[in-house]
A = this chain, B = another copy of it.
């Protein structure tokens, strides 16, 4: 999950790309309902430019969250190194909650990802990270054996819901805790 270096670009193109990403990140954090047109306008570029850099809405959303998804993926390994598997999973879920809070628009994207090629590149590392957590948990007898990463992603898919009110964060963590209780082995 490393940031690949981009091919040489003209300076104006480079600048536009950065601008678009900044604007999109801001706008998407506020609401998942931003239009492509408004993003282009706020970035001060034509719609064609927006589409030259990001061929679809999906591509833009993924590019915006690329860095954060990377951190999430890396965190799985780190947490496993420092904690018991079940505890690592619990802590990772907390990060997931924090991530989900601002990440509108990921709703469809992360899931439609299973088939679509484009997002598969982003989807696979996430699946791998979850698999790593689940596998360690199973080895330690702390996580039930009949769940895979796809199950977990579906189970926490409420995180990408749009209607987040004030105390969404608390509620999200609470629900993740309940989901986790379902995932750990009943003693």
Contact = CB atoms under 8 A, between A and B. Distances in A.
| Secondary structure class of chain A's binding surface, majority of residues | helix
A171 to B, nearest CB: 7
A34 interface: no
Identify which of A111, A157, A182 gathers the most chain B CB atoms within 10 Å of its CB.
A182
Interface stretch (A2-10, A122-130, A172-180): A172-180
A151 B179 contact: no
A32 B146 CA distance: 30
Give the number of copies in the complex. 2
Interface in A54-103: none
A151 B179 CA distance: 11
Interface of A: 111-112, 114-115, 144, 146-147, 151, 154-155, 157-158, 161, 163, 171, 174-175, 178-183, 186-187
